[in-house]
Amino acid sequence: MKQIDVAVAIMLNTEQQVLTSWRQLHQHQGGLWEFPGGKREPDESMFDTLQREIHEELGVSVETAAPFVRIEHDYGDKQVSLDVWLVSHFTGEPQGKEGQALRWQTIDELEKGEFPAANAAIIEALQRASI
């Protein structure tokens, strides 16, 4: 089974809201909301992946981030390993550079059913952490 390593950003604004983005319908798990991020390239650290993907997807630069949680999930056709980071400082205003809609939500507003299955554990970790 294919293993995919993914860097995921939990981006917080000054109101302690989390940024989520809409997965395009043609994507795996399309039509759901997600935390921004993407696949690691060969010979790339997870922090480098985080910085590259967030810049490509949102047009912002990650300045400060800390590891938060690592989630393993089996979708049947692929196994994903999500390396989740809390991004506490970034420069620029997030924009959907790939045509995706964006929204800011409080942690309490995050609904597991609106996200890919692997993201449910991220939402639970955020709720437990009381960020």
pLDDT at residue 28 in the model: 61
> How does DSSP classify residue 76?
S
What does the DSSP 8-state code read for residue 24? P
The pLDDT tens digits for 47-93 are: 999 999 999 999 999 999 999 999 998 888 889 899 999 999 999 99
| Sequence-separated (6 or more) residues with CB below 8 Å from residue 37 | 6, 7, 8, 9, 49, 50, 53, 54, 57, 82
DSSP for residue 12: B
Half-sphere CA count of 115, side-chain side, radius 13 A = 18
Question: What domain count does the chain have?
Answer: 1
* Residue 36 annotated as lining a ligand binding site: yes
Known binding residue 113? Answer is: no
Domain carrying residue 9: 2-129
92 is in an annotated binding site: no
Tell me if 99 is assigned to a ligand binding site.
no
Q: State pTM to two decimals.
A: 0.90
Q: Give the CATH number for residue 28.
A: 3.90.79.10
